[in-house]
Amino acid sequence: MDKFTKLTGIAAPLPLINVDTDMIIPKQFLKTIQRSGLGKNLFDEMRYDDDGNEIPDFVLNKAAYRNAQIIVAGDNFGCGSSREHAPWALLDFGIRCVIAPGFADIFFNNCFKNGILPIVLPQEEVDKLMDDAERGANAVITVDLESQTITGPDGGSISFEVDAFRKHCLINGLDDIGLTLEKSAAIDAFEAQAAQSRPWV
């Protein structure tokens, strides 16, 4: 998993509440177990018409936001079914951070496990960042995980809270497998001792 320390990028405004996982990645794209390749279908039903043509009004189809790395969204982002493909699709598109007043629990947890930082802020602070994100190519926001601050295009700063363990995992690029491998020396020692004391196993 890629480390997350400090991210400076374009923030795309998505002022919708209850964006569910089927909106993030529709069910017809869940056949794969590959984490790559899903970015082209992120928000598929909002990005494309029935003939596969881009819908010009959708934010990620606008020139200023095609390379967005941050989404500023409405409350209860990631609700619905607990599909891990949703953070996979966001990450494959290039989104590393989602800021909202609230998230569905399973989606929130899945983000951390896939290298995406979900940030919960009060509605009034999300509204400020939403306003910043409306600036198109000038909607550049810096998210500093180490200092737990978000800096807007005008230099204003907002602090955010994050669980210390999850912060450690993101900063060090540790998913569940990475966390296990941190204990590899202890695991190897246990296996060696077990092999000596129970050679018949």
pLDDT in tens, 82-104: 789 999 999 999 999 999 999 99
Strands 70-73 and 157-159, by their bridges, are unpaired
Domains parsed from the chain with CATH numbers: 6-174 (3.20.19.10)
pLDDT by residue (tens digit) across 20-79?
Answer: 999 999 999 988 777 789 999 999 999 999 999 999 999 999 999 999 999 999 999 999
Residue corresponding to tokens 């020396």: 185
For the entire predicted model, the pTM comes to 0.89
Answer yes or no: are the C-beta atoms of 73 and 16 closer than 8 Å.
yes
| pLDDT at residue number 117 | 98
Answer yes or no: are the C-beta atoms of 9 and 69 closer than 8 Å.
yes
pLDDT bin (cut points 50, 70, 90) of residue 5 is very high
| Cα 69 to Cα 98: distance, rounded to the nearest angstrom | 9
Answer yes or no: are the C-beta atoms of 150 and 129 closer than 8 Å.
yes
Closest CA to 132 of 144, 145, 150, 120: 150
- Which amino acid, one-letter code, is at 44? D
Dihedral sign of CA atoms 157, 163, 165, 170 in order: negative
| pLDDT at residue number 30 | 86
| Cα 44 to Cα 23: distance, rounded to the nearest angstrom | 7
* Tokens matching residue 18: 């209850």
pLDDT bin (cut points 50, 70, 90) of residue 10 is very high
pLDDT bin (cut points 50, 70, 90) of residue 196 is confident
Q: Which residues pair with 97 in a beta bridge?
A: 70, 117
Averaged pLDDT of the chain: 93
| pLDDT at residue number 132 | 96
Answer yes or no: are the C-beta atoms of 100 and 75 closer than 8 Å.
yes
Residue corresponding to tokens 């969204």: 73
| DSSP code of residue 5 | S
